[in-house]
Amino acid sequence: MRQIELTRVSKHFGKLHVLTDVTWTVPEKTIVGVIGRNGAGKSTLFDLIAGRLFPSSGTIQLDGVPVLQSPAAGNDIYLMSDQNIFPKPTTVADALRIMTDFYPGFDTAWAHQLTKQFGLTEKWQLTDLSTGGATIMRMILALCVPSAFVFLDEPTLGMDATYREEFYRALVATYADRPRTFVISTHLIDEVAGMMSQVMFLDRGRKRLEAATDDLQATARQVSGPTASVEAYLGSTERAAASRLGNLLQVTVLTPLPTDRPVPPDVTVTPLSLQQLFVAMTEKGAAQS
């Protein structure tokens, strides 16, 4: 079983600690979401995994070999980021040719089909593409590379809602056709929640949560009401986050709720979407789990 394994990875730029002690395993053939607020360290995490940055401490391994020494990493780990990797001038068609030469197994036929579907003209220069067009181009390349681990850093930035929808469909189609791992960082959590089978919350450089999305959606609940009633109901149930407003207490729970007592009439239990869960767990003052 192939995997990327991070062990106690930290990264600081001078005095700025961007990632702290991140231990995380990226499994093969899975769609994973990395969710974090602005500045949480998502891009830095991806750059470290792709070998574009060195960790300050900790190790990052692909199949047990440090990525920076792994001969396989160059082909097996692909990072879609906002950097233009092509020489200038390069047309859309040139870019597809370069990728076909560089990556044996690049799905050239599908890349041509996607450029048409997403309204890119192949003779256009990459430098002349609009912001959305440039994002679409990078997205097409990322969906067509054969790499076992594809990292998509904010892949839909600048795309309108219709193109985002089409992109999600294309991603699911390529995953079904050739399963490999896609790790997606995004702010648009609920848009992608349905596709992700695993999720990792990054909060100010620390891993806050790693779970299967199905499990989370089955158990994540918000329990709210007068503090005394919520406390009496939850007892020793583990709390993932809590916030208070006057006499009211709102607790986020990720484990099953008590079954040996009824929910008090003044307590409300509601399921949480992934987005609501993320907000509850990362807003200022959320209890650390």
Q: Tell whether residue 221 is a contact of ligand ATP (CB under 6 A).
A: no
Size of the site for ligand ATP (CB under 6 A): 11
Q: Report the nearest approach of ligand ATP to the CB of residue 49 (Å).
A: 12
- Residue 40 Cβ vs ligand ATP, minimum distance, rounded to whole Å: 4
Read off the tokens for 173: 């189609």
Contacting ligand ATP within 25-44 (CB under 6 A) = 36, 38-44
Q: What torsion, rounded to 10 degrees, do the Cα atoms 153, 155, 156, 159 define?
A: 120
CB of 18 to ligand ATP, least distance (A): 4
- Toward ligand ATP, which CB reaches closer, 44 or 115? 44
For ligand ATP, which is the closer residue by CB, 38 or 247? 38
The secondary element (H helix, E strand) that includes residue 99 is helix 92-102
Min dist CB 213 to ligand ATP, Å, is 20
Q: 165 is written with which tokens?
A: 């929808």
Task: Give the pairing of strands 248-253 and 241-245.
Answer: antiparallel
Q: Is 16 in the site for ligand ATP (CB under 6 A)?
A: yes
Closest CB to ligand ATP among 107 and 203? Answer: 203
Kindly state whether residue 15 participates in binding ligand ATP, applying the rule CB under 6 A: no
- What does the alpha-carbon distance between residue 134 and residue 163 come to, in Å, rounded to a whole number? 13
Q: What is the dihedral of CA 120, 116, 112, 142, to 10 degrees?
A: 60
Name the site residues for ligand ATP (rule: CB under 6 A): 13, 16, 18, 36, 38-44
